[in-house]
Amino acid sequence: MKFLIDESVEKPIVDWLRDQKYDVMYVAESSSGITDEEVISLANNEKLTCLCYYSCGNYTFKNSKKKTVKNEKYFKKWKSQSLSG
């Protein structure tokens, strides 16, 4: 899995994903200061899973409710598995 991680996500999370051998592009390292719209566009264009702490979610929800609801379903499943294990 390949990730685009917004700069709102803290570096230890990026480091952990890299340690797990995931392919990670970190906005803070490569494109600091780009807008939420640019982050989402970059993720879509490069077929990357976008990981944001808070800001991108607002943009995604406002502009693509269908995709957000699907992603929210997977997030809830992941969160419940993470908390139980």
The 10s digit of each residue's pLDDT in 61-81 is 444 444 444 455 555 555 555
Domain containing residue 57: 2-84
pLDDT number for residue 19: 94
pLDDT number for residue 3: 93
Q: Which two tokens stand for residue 16?
A: 């952990």
Of the candidates 77, 61, 59, the one whose C-alpha atom is nearest the C-alpha of residue 69 is 61
Strand partners, 56: none
Three-state secondary-structure class, residue 6:
coil
* Amino acid in the structure at residue 67: K
pLDDT number for residue 65: 44
Mean pLDDT score, 30-58: 80
- CA–CA separation, 85 and 80 (whole Å): 9
**In the chain, how many domains are there?**
1
pLDDT reading at 17 higher than 70: yes
